[in-house]
Structure 1
Amino acid sequence: MRELFEKIGIEYKEDNEYKLTQLQLKQDELTDALERVEDDERRLELQNQYDEIEKAILDIYSIKSKETTGLYKEVEDYSELKNGENGAIFKGMSEKEQFEAAAALLTNKDSSLAIDELTRLANKGNVYAQTKLGEIYFQGKYTVKNVTEGLKWYDMASRQGDGTSSNRLGNYYYSNKAFSNAVSMYQRAQEQNNAYGYYNIGKMYSNGQYFPKNPVNAFEMYKKSAELGAVEGMVQTGMCYAKGIGTLKDDGEAKKYFEEAAAKKNAVAHNWLGYLYEEGRFGEKDINRALDWYEKGAACGGENCAYAAARIYFEKGEYQKAWDYALDARRKNVKEADGIINKIEETGYILSSHRSLAESGHTDQQVRLARAYEKGGLGVEKDEKLATYWYERAALANNQEALAATAYRYKKGLGVEKDIEKAKKYKAMITVSSPTKVQHSAISTVLLNIFRFLTPLTVIPIRAYCWYGISPQWGAIQELLMEMVVFTGIHCALQLIVSSHRLPKSINYLLFFIGLGLFMAIYNALWGQMELGVHIVPMAIIGTYIIRRIKE
């Protein structure tokens, strides 16, 4: 758990109450962010962090409940709960301790018992249980998602003074453009001293949603949320001071709030600190201090920090570090990073680095160098001979990607004389048990086979002629089109089934055609069409086509 606290930028202490308070505050922050984020990759990243914190919270509940009652140690200890005789178990426990004991059961495989217990407590007015049930039903994590049920429990907790529930209700209304209701809930959350109730009202003042735009009011809301511990509030307050929005410009105050947010691993705060040092806003320009903040921000996942670090390292002439950070930024969709990547390629540094390592026998670098010559990159012209040379060197060291590429290049005669035997030799060296980029996933296999199968199915119009004459009716054409779809689906299913078992190709072919033939026989019987000759020609064409493509 210590590693988790370091990761999210919170000081670690052994006290369980302290840990719970800090983790729950972070969880509130992530919940708020998840309900607003639009980028799928960022959403997944936030959800993973949320789940990690959720597990830590439940672990603490479990530890505390064992310390309090000594009951929840083994599954057998739940017999009283399962039998509904749970009154004695919670006797003498506070409302919070009862909730923690019930929530600890969520760590078990059977979460229904925990939900039953939380529901029992919630119906008795336990606000902690009501909030947790709202979260469970709203997210659909331990049970089937039920937004209506989630809202019901959030509302009950909110009316009892729970600021977290009030803020989450506000987020729900906000996301559905019911701004009046959202403001009402956010204001209730403020009265309940919830940091994000202030932050979200601040955003609405900034954006002119429901309220007219009011930078002064927005700043006051952000500052209050920061004082209550909202990291996003710290960042926004720092930005207001740095830009002079809603308050007087004050770089010293901006620095204070940014540093507080950066200590909690916020990448945006790191980026701002780097920018302020780079611009000399705290005195003379300090590129080294700026770079330090950018690198720390990149380590926290900040794409703009990665780009800024790449830019500074390039200016310093440290091309390898510049290259690494630029690639990191580009992977995170910072398009400006392409400019740095291109400039580094023009220097020839990366090519020289790859060549040196490739000469030393590093197969990954040999493949990268081969790719550069194959497509023309890293400052070199396209050269098929050198591409094949480096692919083959890596292939001889059993690099799987290189083996596939070398086999293909010998087969097509790219940069080397066409040699089918050598192509077969390298292809045979590819080991199925070693996953590589060139192996197809099940999904890509399905798509590929759909494409392959639709081509020979153009034979279906022959059937239209045989059955209905040269001018078939529209109903008949619809039936034939449906048949194309059905046959395509069956083909793909059979292909996946037989290819998922490591059998000889001949057995795979046999099983495939037996399966397809059996399906067609059943299909004909159902429709009362026993003219097998109508199917023999399409089957022969399809079979020939598939075998030819597989052999290729």
Structure 2
Amino acid sequence: MNPWLKTVFAAAGAGALLAAPAMAEKVADVPYAAYQRGQYLTAFREALESAQKGNAAAQTLLGELYWRGLGIPRDRSQAVWWYSQAAVAGNREAQFALGLALVRGEGTTKDKKKGAGWFEAAAAKGHVEAHYNLALLYLEGDVRPHDVKKAAELFEFAAERKHPESEYNLAQLYAAGSGVGRDLAKAAELMQRAAEQNLPIAEVEYGLMLFRGEGVPADEERAAAIFRSAAERGNPVAQNRLARLYAEGRGVERDPVEAVKWHYLARDNGASDPWLDAFAASLDDEVRRDAQERAGNWFNGLIGGLAGVGF
């Protein structure tokens, strides 16, 4: 498998699993409305009655509530049981969720081959993330044959529907000419689309494309702005790139304090850089102190912004 591809198997978050398409089988309005309002215990009580009567959408809703522990204690084995009931009945959201649980071995015994089968069932019904995850399995070449062309086709289906990880991976395939004809302009277009959806790894890659002029006209100022966007959300590679730009005055006005600030943040986040270490060491103590203070203020601001975030 190509090491530069994003390989995390996609998971639906609260609300994402039960988006409008999941309700095609008409789970009762009351439990779903309660779920959307965050009244999870009410949603559970109302959905249970419909689920016990065989309503696949209600069964999927119960699976979601058990999986995430919304209104009830989290119980992933119970979630998998309900997902299984709904998946057998043909609910594509449940098929995807069951596939994900099997591939990861969460709430059930790990069985990637069975998981792939459920991804295929959901994909046949147009499930976008099922296409993405199947593509990863074809790249991996374990429970499905290694087939980069097939993976590219699956990524393309999802990318056409604005799935950012698929856009990112398909861009990488076009850049390498793997499974598709090499096309740097197409790679840049896809990477830009993923970056515009705030996928940090895509922002970094698209920033590099702009900086180097790969598939797009070189534009160091735009590259710097994109690196900053990802850096502000804590991406260490973007923080490192931004530090270098400030140190060299490329795309931004040269600013040693900002350079060292972003270097410290990137380094603390795991992105070491001996060149920037030497750059920081060459500066006055006052510059380094200012940079340290700015880095601390930035970090405290980030933590403060997260303080009110809940489910």
TM-score by length of 2: 0.77
Higher helix share: 1
Between the aligned partners of 1:212 and 1:284, the Cα distance in structure 2 is 38
Aligned 8 A contact 2:203 2:230 in 1: yes
Matched, 1:211 2:144: yes
Between the aligned partners of 2:288 and 2:179, the Cα distance in structure 1 is 52
Q: Name the SS for the 1:348 alignment partner.
A: coil
Aligned 8 A contact 2:207 2:227 in 1: yes
> Which residue number in structure 2 is paired with residue 99 of structure 1?
31
> Which residue number in structure 1 is paired with residue 307 of structure 2?
none
Between the aligned partners of 2:98 and 2:182, the Cα distance in structure 1 is 35
Task: Give the length in aligned residue pairs.
Answer: 272
Aligned 8 A contact 2:243 2:260 in 1: yes
Aligned 8 A contact 1:102 1:118 in 2: no
Match of 1:345 among 257, 265, 280: 280
Gapped regions of structure 2 (runs ≥ 5): 1-7, 20-25, 297-311
Q: Which runs of 4+ in 1 moved over 6 A?
A: none
| C-alpha distance after superposition, 1:308-349 (max 9, x if no partner) | 11122212242122112212212321123x541x22322224
Distance 1:160 1:229, change over 3 A: farther
Between the aligned partners of 1:283 and 1:260, the Cα distance in structure 2 is 13
Matched, 1:185 2:122: no
Please tell me whether Structure 1 or Structure 2 has the larger radius of gyration of its CA atoms. 1
Aligned 8 A contact 1:274 1:289 in 2: yes
> Which residue number in structure 1 is paired with residue 270 of structure 2?
333
> Which residue number in structure 2 is paired with residue 142 of structure 1?
71
> Which residue number in structure 1 is paired with residue 257 of structure 2?
320
TM-score by length of 1: 0.45
Match of 1:271 among 204, 223, 234: 204
Between the aligned partners of 1:136 and 1:217, the Cα distance in structure 2 is 34
Aligned 8 A contact 1:179 1:210 in 2: yes
Distance 1:292 1:118, change over 3 A: same
| C-alpha distance after superposition, 1:426-461 (max 9, x if no partner) | xxxxxxxxxxxxxxxxxxxxxxxxxxxxxxxxxxxx
Gapped regions of structure 1 (runs ≥ 5): 1-30, 36-49, 59-93, 358-363, 369-552
Identical columns (%) = 22
Q: Relative contact order (C-alpha < 8 Å, sep 6+): which is higher?
A: 2
Cα deviation, residue 194, structure 1: 0.5
Q: Name the SS for the 2:126 alignment partner.
A: coil
Cα deviation, residue 212, structure 1: 2.9
Q: Name the SS for the 2:240 alignment partner.
A: helix
Q: Name the SS for the 2:191 alignment partner.
A: helix
Instruction: Give the root-mean-square deviation of aligned CA atoms.
Output: 2.9
Q: Name the SS for the 1:290 alignment partner.
A: helix
Cα deviation, residue 195, structure 1: 0.7
> Which residue number in structure 2 is paired with residue 303 of structure 1?
236
Between the aligned partners of 1:325 and 1:240, the Cα distance in structure 2 is 31
> Which residue number in structure 2 is paired with residue 122 of structure 1?
51
Match of 2:170 among 237, 251, 256: 237
Partner AA of 1:135 in structure 2: E
Between the aligned partners of 2:59 and 2:218, the Cα distance in structure 1 is 53
Q: Name the SS for the 2:145 alignment partner.
A: coil
Partner AA of 2:265 in structure 1: D
Aligned 8 A contact 2:95 2:118 in 1: yes
Cα deviation, residue 293, structure 1: 1.8
Cα deviation, residue 163, structure 1: 2.1
